[in-house]
A and B are shown apart, each in its own frame.
Chain A
Amino acid sequence: MFLAFCGYRLTFRSFRLPLFARSFHLTGTEFLFLGLLLGPQFLNLVDAETHKGLDPLIALALGWVGLVVGFQFEISKLKRFPFEYLLAAQFEGLFTLVVVFGTAYVTLPSLFEMSKPMVLVAALVLSAAAACSAQTGLGLMAPVSVTRKEKDLRLLRCISSLDGLSALVFIGLAFALRPSPLLETSWIWALVRGMAVGVGAGLCLLLLFTLLLHRRLSESELTLVVIGMAILATGTASVLNLSPLLTCAFIGMCLVNVSKQKERIYNILISVEKPVYLLMLVFLGLEWRIDAPVIFIGAFLYWSVRLMAKVSAGFLVVQSIPALRTHPRYLGFGLLDQGGLPLAVLMDFSRSFPGDVTGRVLGVALVAVILNDLASPYFLGRFLKEKGN
């Protein structure tokens, strides 16, 4: 935890490193390696028992990220974006999801030995992680090139804020289609049951937090309620076999649109967002498996398919929506950064579906994340240089 705290200071508050190192450093990817180093594959400083003891903290981190993600979906703010932007965001997200899902569903059984239901779940998770994009790379670009492309960047920001929505829906599906119910009952029944429990629990939690937030709370009371909310929601979601990330995102989404204290809640959430993010990287590193060459092959494939899907989605968006024709064709180049949500998706998956296969699928995704961290600044640079249509 101390490492995460110090790392957060170093990573997000100082930018004096060489440019190449900066792009790697800014995303905090080194903390994945730190986790890997501390974990059972190398130093074993954080052994299985200690790791198990950290489970509540991992769950809290997931819930926290979920709430932060949910708070992005404030309808009044989203309305400020033109309708075409919202359409583009959903199309881009869904397109990437479908392409990556299809490829993963077909490819995974030939890479790893896994049951059919697990292939479905893993493909859903990988596609959900692939669909998310972020704008971390923009912080590194020269201000001149950024201001020149203000209109394009606005579109990019809109898409990268919203394409996570489809990812969350897919994560919900993955949890509803858990392997065990799938083996026992029909998938339709599993899906209906999972969705009913999910929506029911989410609504009850929302009712609870609305009751607790009915009056203006003092700062410490609000901190208490937000922490309690994150812990209770993640705990309840885990017990009910739901996704803690999705459950908290749902609550966050509702709260940001109904609560009068949304600004204050958001301030509390973001005050520890980055340390939470780095902690998550360390935890993911602890579970990271890189013990087979097939993981690297899978990772390269996954990264390539995501790249192609994003670029194609960007191209299709610009070509098919008339109002967006002025934007560059290679819009997808600006959407390769992944940010924190996919990591939370992967963490959610690895904790809820423990097993050997999960470790390998996680390995594939994390190697791809690193590939992406190395490659995305180049593509973003290309995008910023490109002229519009």
Chain B
Amino acid sequence: MYLLALVVLGGFAFLSSRMPLESSWQRTGLVNASLGFLMLTAYACARVFSLFRLPLISGYIFAGILFGPQALQFVTQTMVRDLRLIDELALNFIALSAGGMLRMSFLVRRGKAIFLNVALQTVAAFTAVFLFVLLAGSGFEFMGHLSPLEILAFAILLGVTAVARSPSSAIAIISETRSEGTFTETVLGVTVVVDVLIIILFTMALTIAEMLLLPGQAMMLRAIGGVSLNVLAALLMGAIIGKAIAIYIDRAGYDLPLFLLLFAFSVTKCAFWLNHYTQEYVGFALELEPLLICMSAGFTVQNFSRTGRDFMEGLDRFSLPIYILFFALAGASLDLQALGNTWPLAVGLTLMRAGGIFGAAWLAARLCRDPHRHGTVAGMAYLTQAGVAIGLAQLAQRQFPEIGVYLLTIVLAVITINQIVGPVTFKAALEFVGETGKRRGSEVREG
């Protein structure tokens, strides 16, 4: 039935893409049709994938790749750009979920494991990729003409992007498999903490790269101080908003999914407006990160109010359409051409990163005396990579155009591999440790 639905959807997409578009309303219609098409196609693909016990998220990503600009082009690059708003909404929504899934009691109980995992994996992933690029980079045709200093800066930036994870993928798979337990919560805790840490690490990396490539311009401590202040401000603002959400749920509580959806919609715009306002009128460049605000808000509602359960249920209501669109669009944005051009280096980097993460996760599990099974497969849970790494690479590209274009290409290629492989390995790891299907109160998305 789903294959038949895919055929009908394909027919629609084929016809729509061949219609002459005379008015702006028709062009809007095409964007809408693509959005609906992507949503339903990704859903149908995921249902087909689930027959082979593959994660639903892989189906969403596959649909994006297949029908996106890289393959059948039913969804073009322009449409993907036009749907950027959905991306922002989805990321904020996912960040709210990520914060809401972190329980204080667990963080305290598993604090050591989370700290060790974060520290070891960050060092291992960075070192493995950094050394690989530094030692073997010049051997690849792709990087052949870069100067030694440029290779060094390149290695630092790539090393830091290797640390980045995909909380959205982690949450999607945990939700899909209804997993609960020590392993699941450790993975989630580590992924979310790394997501906060990566912003600071990347700013440091950018500053070092600036010192290497543009001597005399960067001031390390000031840059780090500024970032830390921004992170703190975002977390504080998130806490205040979280408290407000909790009060709303407690006192009013109606139409919660809609309320949360509107909140996720507006938080990016509000952060942008506030950043602009402070720069324009206060003379101080505040750069609040909407993801951190949402994460902190979710965390506050979950841990500092009685409304955590209602909050998570409210998020659950619209989460599936949002996840589907987000991952299908992520699939449509993956750059297969970049992968084709740089695959030897991309495969090498992916293997080095995976090696570092596997080793570090195994060591952390041993040090925490976690069950042997956990240590064996822990690395499989940390491979996914998505939006944040791309965002960081884009930032670096703007800052250092001479190496940035290579950085973006290679990061996109590595992410393409990790985002295809990562969800499959994570689901397999959750099944291996036996934590799937244990979460209550959340409905079965498998149907």
A residues adjacent to B (C-beta < 8 A): 1-2, 5, 8-9, 13, 52-53, 55-56, 59-60, 180, 204-205, 207-208, 211-212, 214-221, 223-225, 227-241, 244, 272, 275, 351-352, 354
Contact = CB atoms under 8 A, between A and B. Distances in A.
B39 A231 contact: yes
Contact of B320 (A180, A212, A220): A220
A208 B12 contact: yes
Given A59-B29, A235-B31, A354-B23, A207 B39 contact: no
Interface residues of B, number: 50
Contact of B36 (A215, A223, A228, A241): A228
B445 interface: yes
Nearest to B31: A56
20 contacts: A1-B265, A5-B255, A5-B262, A13-B254, A55-B24, A211-B5, A212-B40, A212-B44, A215-B447, A218-B447, A220-B317, A221-B320, A223-B317, A225-B40, A227-B39, A228-B39, A234-B32, A235-B31, A237-B29, A238-B25
B447 A217 contact: yes
Dominant SS among interface residues on chain A? helix
Contacts of B44: 212
Contacts of A236: 12, 16, 29, 33, 36
A235 B30 contact: yes
- Report which residue of A218, A227, A241 has the largest number of chain B beta carbons within 10 angstroms of its beta carbon: A227
Dominant SS among interface residues on chain B? helix
B319 interface: yes
A8 B255 CA distance: 10
The 3 closest A-B pairs by CB, nearest first: A238-B29, A232-B36, A235-B33
B447 A204 contact: no
A223 B318 contact: yes
A197 to B, nearest CB: 10
Contact of A208 (B9, B318, B324, B443): B9
Interface of B: 1-2, 4-5, 8-9, 11-12, 16, 19, 21-26, 28-37, 39-40, 43-44, 85, 252, 254-255, 258-259, 262, 265-266, 316-321, 324, 443-445, 447
B332 to A, nearest CB: 16
Contact of A235 (B5, B35, B318): B35
Contacts of B318: 223
Contacts of A59: 28-29, 32
A168 B423 CA distance: 47
Contacts of B254: 9, 13
Contact of A239 (B11, B30, B258, B319): B30
A220 B40 contact: no
A354 B24 contact: yes
Contacts of B32: 56, 59-60, 231-232, 234-235, 238
A241 B28 CA distance: 12
